[in-house]
Amino acid sequence: MLENCELLGNQDTLSAIHQYDKSSRIEGNVDFIFSMLASVFENCRITIQQWQLKPKKDENNTVTAHRRTDPAMTTRFVFRNCLINGTDEYVALYRSKPQVHKNYLGRPWKEYSRTIFIGCVLESIIMPQGWMPWTGDFVLKTSVIWVPGLICRAE
Protein backbone atom coordinates (compact mmCIF):
# COMPACT_ATOMS: atom_id res chain seq x y z
CA MET A 1 0.00 0.00 0.00
CA LEU A 2 1.17 3.49 -0.86
CA GLU A 3 -0.37 6.35 1.08
CA ASN A 4 0.28 10.08 0.81
CA CYS A 5 3.06 9.55 -1.73
CA GLU A 6 4.11 11.82 -4.54
CA LEU A 7 5.19 10.06 -7.75
CA LEU A 8 6.44 12.52 -10.37
CA GLY A 9 7.68 11.59 -13.82
CA ASN A 10 6.89 11.74 -17.49
CA GLN A 11 6.10 8.68 -19.58
CA ASP A 12 5.76 5.45 -17.56
CA THR A 13 5.86 7.13 -14.14
CA LEU A 14 4.31 4.19 -12.27
CA SER A 15 4.37 0.51 -13.14
CA ALA A 16 1.50 -0.56 -10.89
CA ILE A 17 2.11 -3.91 -9.16
CA HIS A 18 -1.04 -5.26 -7.45
CA GLN A 19 -1.19 -2.22 -5.27
CA TYR A 20 -3.48 0.10 -3.38
CA ASP A 21 -2.66 3.80 -3.57
CA LYS A 22 -4.48 6.16 -1.23
CA SER A 23 -4.32 9.95 -1.14
CA SER A 24 -1.27 10.06 -3.38
CA ARG A 25 -0.31 12.38 -6.20
CA ILE A 26 0.79 10.80 -9.47
CA GLU A 27 2.06 13.06 -12.26
CA GLY A 28 3.16 12.34 -15.80
CA ASN A 29 2.11 12.63 -19.44
CA VAL A 30 2.13 9.51 -21.65
CA ASP A 31 0.84 6.18 -20.26
CA PHE A 32 2.11 7.33 -16.90
CA ILE A 33 0.22 4.66 -14.95
CA PHE A 34 0.73 1.31 -16.68
CA SER A 35 0.67 -2.42 -15.95
CA MET A 36 -1.11 -5.68 -16.61
CA LEU A 37 -1.91 -6.18 -12.91
CA ALA A 38 -4.79 -5.13 -10.66
CA SER A 39 -4.42 -1.82 -8.84
CA VAL A 40 -6.73 0.53 -6.94
CA PHE A 41 -6.21 4.27 -6.63
CA GLU A 42 -8.40 6.00 -4.05
CA ASN A 43 -8.63 9.72 -3.29
CA CYS A 44 -5.59 10.35 -5.48
CA ARG A 45 -4.71 13.41 -7.49
CA ILE A 46 -3.74 12.34 -11.00
CA THR A 47 -1.97 15.20 -12.77
CA ILE A 48 -1.02 15.60 -16.42
CA GLN A 49 2.04 17.67 -17.26
CA GLN A 50 3.30 18.91 -20.60
CA TRP A 51 5.92 16.92 -22.49
CA GLN A 52 6.70 19.22 -25.38
CA LEU A 53 7.87 22.78 -24.85
CA LYS A 54 6.60 24.00 -28.22
CA PRO A 55 4.34 21.37 -29.77
CA LYS A 56 4.14 21.76 -33.54
CA LYS A 57 1.50 19.08 -33.94
CA ASP A 58 -0.93 17.27 -31.70
CA GLU A 59 0.24 16.48 -28.21
CA ASN A 60 -1.62 13.43 -26.90
CA ASN A 61 -1.39 12.52 -23.24
CA THR A 62 -2.79 9.33 -21.72
CA VAL A 63 -3.17 8.71 -18.01
CA THR A 64 -3.24 4.91 -18.16
CA ALA A 65 -2.10 2.01 -20.31
CA HIS A 66 -3.66 -1.16 -18.94
CA ARG A 67 -2.80 -4.52 -20.44
CA ARG A 68 -4.78 -7.77 -20.47
CA THR A 69 -4.32 -10.55 -22.98
CA ASP A 70 -7.08 -12.95 -21.92
CA PRO A 71 -10.79 -12.17 -21.32
CA ALA A 72 -10.74 -14.47 -18.25
CA MET A 73 -8.11 -12.34 -16.49
CA THR A 74 -9.55 -10.35 -13.58
CA THR A 75 -6.98 -7.57 -13.54
CA ARG A 76 -7.92 -3.91 -13.99
CA PHE A 77 -7.20 -0.41 -12.77
CA VAL A 78 -9.82 1.13 -10.49
CA PHE A 79 -9.77 4.83 -9.71
CA ARG A 80 -12.14 5.84 -6.90
CA ASN A 81 -12.87 9.43 -5.89
CA CYS A 82 -9.81 10.75 -7.70
CA LEU A 83 -9.23 14.14 -9.30
CA ILE A 84 -7.87 14.00 -12.86
CA ASN A 85 -6.43 17.34 -13.96
CA GLY A 86 -3.29 19.03 -15.31
CA THR A 87 -0.59 21.00 -13.58
CA ASP A 88 -1.29 24.74 -13.49
CA GLU A 89 1.33 25.26 -16.21
CA TYR A 90 -0.17 22.54 -18.40
CA VAL A 91 -3.75 23.80 -17.99
CA ALA A 92 -2.61 27.26 -19.11
CA LEU A 93 -0.88 25.72 -22.14
CA TYR A 94 -3.95 23.60 -22.91
CA ARG A 95 -6.26 26.62 -22.76
CA SER A 96 -4.02 28.54 -25.16
CA LYS A 97 -4.52 25.87 -27.89
CA PRO A 98 -7.01 23.17 -26.86
CA GLN A 99 -7.13 21.76 -30.41
CA VAL A 100 -3.44 20.78 -30.13
CA HIS A 101 -3.53 19.24 -26.64
CA LYS A 102 -5.61 16.10 -26.21
CA ASN A 103 -5.78 14.21 -22.92
CA TYR A 104 -7.30 10.76 -22.57
CA LEU A 105 -8.02 8.59 -19.54
CA GLY A 106 -6.06 5.79 -21.17
CA ARG A 107 -5.20 3.71 -24.16
CA PRO A 108 -5.63 -0.04 -24.26
CA TRP A 109 -2.26 -1.77 -24.31
CA LYS A 110 -3.65 -5.20 -25.27
CA GLU A 111 -6.97 -6.75 -26.32
CA TYR A 112 -8.87 -6.90 -23.00
CA SER A 113 -7.72 -3.81 -21.13
CA ARG A 114 -9.92 -2.61 -18.26
CA THR A 115 -9.86 0.76 -16.52
CA ILE A 116 -12.65 1.96 -14.22
CA PHE A 117 -13.22 5.45 -12.82
CA ILE A 118 -15.79 5.63 -9.99
CA GLY A 119 -16.89 8.96 -8.53
CA CYS A 120 -13.89 10.74 -10.05
CA VAL A 121 -13.77 14.38 -11.04
CA LEU A 122 -12.46 14.78 -14.56
CA GLU A 123 -11.51 18.33 -15.40
CA SER A 124 -12.41 19.78 -18.80
CA ILE A 125 -8.99 18.96 -20.30
CA ILE A 126 -10.02 15.26 -20.56
CA MET A 127 -11.37 14.08 -23.94
CA PRO A 128 -14.92 12.65 -23.62
CA GLN A 129 -14.02 9.53 -25.65
CA GLY A 130 -12.03 8.11 -22.74
CA TRP A 131 -9.76 5.75 -24.71
CA MET A 132 -7.20 6.93 -27.19
CA PRO A 133 -6.59 4.28 -29.84
CA TRP A 134 -3.13 2.67 -29.74
CA THR A 135 -2.95 2.16 -33.51
CA GLY A 136 -6.13 2.64 -35.53
CA ASP A 137 -8.96 0.77 -33.83
CA PHE A 138 -6.62 -1.93 -32.43
CA VAL A 139 -8.29 -3.54 -29.39
CA LEU A 140 -11.04 -0.93 -29.01
CA LYS A 141 -13.81 -3.52 -29.48
CA THR A 142 -12.56 -5.70 -26.60
CA SER A 143 -11.32 -3.06 -24.16
CA VAL A 144 -13.40 -1.21 -21.58
CA ILE A 145 -13.08 2.17 -19.95
CA TRP A 146 -15.99 2.65 -17.56
CA VAL A 147 -16.97 5.87 -15.84
CA PRO A 148 -20.19 5.48 -13.81
CA GLY A 149 -21.47 8.64 -12.13
CA LEU A 150 -19.08 10.72 -14.20
CA ILE A 151 -18.46 14.23 -12.95
CA CYS A 152 -16.94 16.44 -15.65
CA ARG A 153 -16.15 20.05 -15.02
CA ALA A 154 -16.74 22.43 -17.88
CA GLU A 155 -15.25 25.88 -18.24
CATH number of 2-152: 2.160.20.10
Domain ranges of the chain: 2-152
pLDDT tens for residues 80-130? 999 999 999 999 989 988 888 899 999 888 888 889 999 999 999 998 888
Cα(63)–Cα(143) distance, integer angstroms: 16
Q: Is the pLDDT of residue 154 over 80?
A: no
Choose among 140, 135, 84, 89: nearest CA to 112. 140
Note if the pTM is more than 0.85: yes
Q: What is the pLDDT of residue 155?
A: 41
Q: What do you get for the CA distance between the two ends of the chain, in Å?
A: 35
Catalytic residues, by residue number, are 12, 31
Q: What is the pLDDT of residue 149?
A: 64
